[in-house]
Amino acid sequence: MSIFAAAFGFGLVSMSVIAIAAVGFTMQFGITNMINLAYGQVMISSAYVAYYINRAGITIWVGMIAGAFFGAAFSFLLNRLVYAPFQRKGTSYLGMVIVSLAVSLMIANLLLPIVGYFSVSYSEHAGSLVRLGDIVLTNNQIAIIALSVAVMLGIHALLRYTRLGKAMRATAANPTLARNCGIPTQRVIDMVWLITGALCGLAGVVAALNSDSFVISSGAGFLITALAAAVLGGAGQPYGAMIGAVIIGLVTELSAAAWSPEYKEVVAFGILVLVMVLRPQGLLAKRGALAAAG
């Protein structure tokens, strides 16, 4: 068995999980101008919602839909009740980052007494193994890859071929001009929080399913990888986040196979640093979907 082929297969799964999270995160930033550091906590909260549904004997695939709905509602309310009032008061960009960090800590500490300190697992059979040469994947992992591809195509279609997508791009490019042109930017922003929140919730459940067990502190890890992929691809650029996810997902697993697993994250973040040095704006900063609508 080639360890590299196997690692490539695992990399495909990792990048699929990261892509869903990173695209949601970067769209949120690109359109609402908000670096939401509570994103990882919303992900893990959604994962727990799915866990409780799954524990009631309902399949995790239903739990996944519920997690996406929960993520959407939670993110929408988070913006309406916390972020938007601060933004209306003219809180600085850095101030909003600190607010989101505070929200993140509050969610984590509120969750702790509810869900407990310990790892939990979905009671969902991983499914039989599928072998493609030396690549070995479970049915669940193949479903995750397929789901991720479908979500990416859906996001592409939304941004390119729908009125809402065009309105989002216009709002991202210049909210004042968009408003003056008759685009209901507030409603667009609400929709963005709902959509990206749904992606966030979906990503949380998918990440938890991909990991055989998860714990409340997993949220911080989810955020770091999503953030890394988003920054690598160019902050605010959904297609860039997709590319960032591919690089982070594959490099971590392949470097683990080639070198040592304990340094796989070092290698991935080393590449991130290198890209930031050579191209600070990220890989797709000027050609992304949320660049000026045209």
Q: Where does this chain bind another protein (CB under 8 A)?
A: 1, 3, 6-7, 10, 13-14, 17, 108-109, 112, 116-121, 123, 126, 129, 136, 138, 207, 210-218, 221-222, 225, 253, 256-257, 260-262, 264-265
The 10 Å Cβ neighbour count of residue 35 is 19
| 63 token code pair | 């739990």
Minimum CB distance to another protein smaller for 188 or for 203:
203
Minimum CB distance to another protein smaller for 91 or for 138:
138
Residue in 230, 261, 262 with CA at minimum distance from that of residue 18: 230
The residue type at 207: A
Minimum CB distance to another protein smaller for 44 or for 289:
44
Whole-number minimum distance, CB 142 to another protein, in Å?
13
Minimum CB distance to another protein smaller for 141 or for 237:
141
CB proximity list for 17: less than 8 A, separation 6 or greater: 144, 148, 203, 206, 207, 210, 249
Whole-number minimum distance, CB 38 to another protein, in Å?
16
Whole-number minimum distance, CB 255 to another protein, in Å?
9
Minimum CB distance to another protein smaller for 148 or for 237:
148
Rounded to a whole number of angstroms, the distance between the first and last alpha carbons of the chain is: 49
3-state helix, strand, coil in the chain (%, to 5): 75, 5, 20
| 46 token code pair | 């959604």
Whole-number minimum distance, CB 160 to another protein, in Å?
31
Residues in the chain: 294
What is the signed CA dihedral for 224, 229, 231, 235, rounded to 10 degrees? -120
Minimum CB distance to another protein smaller for 186 or for 217:
217
Whole-number minimum distance, CB 173 to another protein, in Å?
35
User: What is the distance between the alpha carbons of residues 68 and 49, in angstroms, rounded to a whole number?
Assistant: 10
| 17 token code pair | 């999980």
| 91 token code pair | 């809180």
Whole-number minimum distance, CB 127 to another protein, in Å?
9
Minimum CB distance to another protein smaller for 95 or for 212:
212
CA atoms within 13 A on the CB side of 131: 4
| 186 token code pair | 């507030």
Whole-number minimum distance, CB 145 to another protein, in Å?
14
